Structure 1
Amino acid sequence: MDLNTVVEIRDARDPAPWRPGDAWLGGGTYLFSEPQPQLRRLVDLSRTGWTPVHRAPDGALEIAATCTVAQLSRFARTLPTTAAPLVEQCCRAFLASFKIWNMATVGGNLCNALPAGPMISLTAALDGECLLIAQDGVRRRVPVARFVTGAGRKDLAEGELLRSVTVPARALECRTAFRQASLYGLGRSGVLVIGTLDPVDRSFALTVTASTVRPVRLWFPLPPTAKALRTAIGRAVADDEWFDDIHGLPEWRRHMTFRYAEEIRREVTR
């Protein structure tokens, strides 16, 4: 879609004061998908030269905000860790064409903050942490599970940039289980639940996305009982936090979340 209110595209490598009507441009799959009448200038990140994804010296996975879904998928196929299959499962949860895969970015998926964003699901489940850079250069780190605060809402100040997401090495060695539900064969995720089991201390984490307006990550020092897990989910998700749109009613999303949570608990602890 043509954005007829945009009068300038600026290279992000050339610093300039942030001004009203500015927006970061990553892959552009969202920006160019619908009218953006509030925008006047796009700050293009495509020439920053950031390494899309790599393993840090400590074994952590560093994913640049500009890393595309296709780049992450290819990298994960060579990743010699227990949790590597989860990356591909979440990439496939996009159910998008190859054109989207090659343009949509990890950073864009997080910053859109849609409940069904599978890169949110992936990085929240693996205890990911966002690196945010303000216009004055101040840096801060926020867990992905707290970065997205609601449907379309995130902890991002005006002009602040999501630079990267870091997944700790320990999380990459977790045993994982993945469940996804949609009302349609090739539809948007209505429920996406991920469980992880730490091989070191056997702590268990369950991450609920798509069915809720924000990521909900529950951590247990040891695998919980079925009753304890169900109770924890009920306490963590308020009645008005079950997402409601054309892709699923809150009651259905809640029911499927509880069902998948128990399936996952049994799978990763058997």
Structure 2
Amino acid sequence: MDLNTIRAVARPTTRDELPVWTADAAWLAGGTWLFSEPQTHLTRLIDLTDLKWPALSVSETGLSIAATCTVAQLDALSCPPEWTASPLINQCCRAFLASFKIWKTATVGGNICMSLPAGPMISLTAALEGVCMIWQAGGGERQIPVADFVTGDQRNVLAPGDLLRQIDIPLAVLKRRSAFRQISLTPVGRSAALLIGSLSSDGGLALTVTASTARPVQFSFAGVPAAKDLRDAILQRIPDGLYHTDVHGKPMWRKAMTLRLAEEIRGELQAVPRVTP
């Protein structure tokens, strides 16, 4: 869709060149949502392309994902064999259920900043204990876990003019054994519940609930809990009012699916993995 109210497009090449933020401006990365509907309040776009952030950086501390990294670039990442949790990357990318055109344009940062309950990049980076680096509008930086970045349906902690720079994934989490579960009302529908569990090196279970809830909800157990203990923890931590509702699923159905998928993950991670000779 053409945005016929836009009168100027800024193309900064460094942070120092970022223009002063105004209410009629918008960051432009992939633009798949921005150009999908009228944006009559906008008169200026700030194109992030010429900042030329490396899409993906692998180091001894983990993985850094630029906010401008596309879904296609992330899906194509060749992960070291010791990154046991790396299948989650491909699984969450495919939870988009989008065409190749969207994959090559939509960005990881855009999906996180859109902050929809079913945002699969939120699911992925929250479950991998990702930390957002934010360039603050007034200067300086701050860091916040992805699980805390999203505060509700299309709500997050960004102040006007703040810019998500990157998401950092710790190496230790990438080496965890993990389990993925996702369900939709239809075979190609938006995620109604997407849960990811992982086991730490000391046997602790981490569980991240997304899509069924308005914001990510995380659980941490010293070991793999009994079925009743896991169910009780979910019932206590997630009030009925936190379950999301739209045409893709009613709250009570999402609640039931959350409990079911959580138990499936618990069972999978509790089982001793087979070793291929």
Contact (CA 8 Å) 1:121, 1:215: kept in 2 or not?
Answer: yes
Indicate the RMSD between aligned Cα atoms, in angstroms: 1.0
Q: Which residue of 2 aligns with 1:9?
A: 9
Q: Which residue of 1 aligns with 2:50?
A: 47
Paired with 1:55 and 1:176, the residues of 2 have a C-alpha distance of 20
Cα deviation, residue 136, structure 1 = 2.5
Contact (CA 8 Å) 1:194, 1:208: kept in 2 or not?
Answer: yes
- Aligned partner of residue 31 in structure 2, secondary structure: coil
Paired with 2:254 and 2:244, the residues of 1 have a C-alpha distance of 8
**Larger displacement relative to structure 2 (100-109 or 212-221):** 212-221
Structure 2: gaps spanning 5 or more residues: 272-277
Paired with 1:127 and 1:78, the residues of 2 have a C-alpha distance of 17
Q: Which residue of 1 aligns with 2:194?
A: 192
Q: Which residue of 1 aligns with 2:22?
A: 19
- Aligned partner of residue 49 in structure 2, secondary structure: coil
Which amino acid in structure 1 is aligned with residue 25 of structure 2? Answer: D
Q: Which residue of 2 aligns with 1:105?
A: 107
Contact (CA 8 Å) 1:197, 1:269: kept in 2 or not?
Answer: no
- Aligned partner of residue 46 in structure 2, secondary structure: strand
Cα deviation, residue 40, structure 1 = 1.4
Structure 1: gaps spanning 5 or more residues: none
Paired with 2:5 and 2:269, the residues of 1 have a C-alpha distance of 51
Q: How many residues get paired?
A: 267
Cα deviation, residue 138, structure 1 = 1.3
Q: Which residue of 1 aligns with 2:66?
A: 64
Which amino acid in structure 2 is aligned with residue 236 of structure 1? Answer: R
Contact (CA 8 Å) 1:64, 1:164: kept in 2 or not?
Answer: yes
Percent identity of paired positions between Structure 1 and Structure 2: 54
Contact (CA 8 Å) 2:125, 2:169: kept in 1 or not?
Answer: yes
- Aligned partner of residue 251 in structure 1, secondary structure: helix
Q: Which residue of 2 aligns with 1:182?
A: 184
Q: Which residue of 2 aligns with 1:95?
A: 97
Which amino acid in structure 2 is aligned with residue 174 of structure 1? Answer: R
Which amino acid in structure 2 is aligned with residue 5 of structure 1? Answer: T
- Aligned partner of residue 208 in structure 1, secondary structure: strand
- Aligned partner of residue 51 in structure 2, secondary structure: coil
Cα deviation, residue 16, structure 1 = 2.0
- Aligned partner of residue 57 in structure 2, secondary structure: strand
Cα deviation, residue 189, structure 1 = 0.6
Q: 1:84 aligns with which of 82, 86, 96?
A: 86
Paired with 1:39 and 1:219, the residues of 2 have a C-alpha distance of 42
- Aligned partner of residue 47 in structure 1, secondary structure: helix
Corresponding position: 1:145 with 2:154? no
Cα deviation, residue 137, structure 1 = 2.1
Contact (CA 8 Å) 2:126, 2:208: kept in 1 or not?
Answer: yes
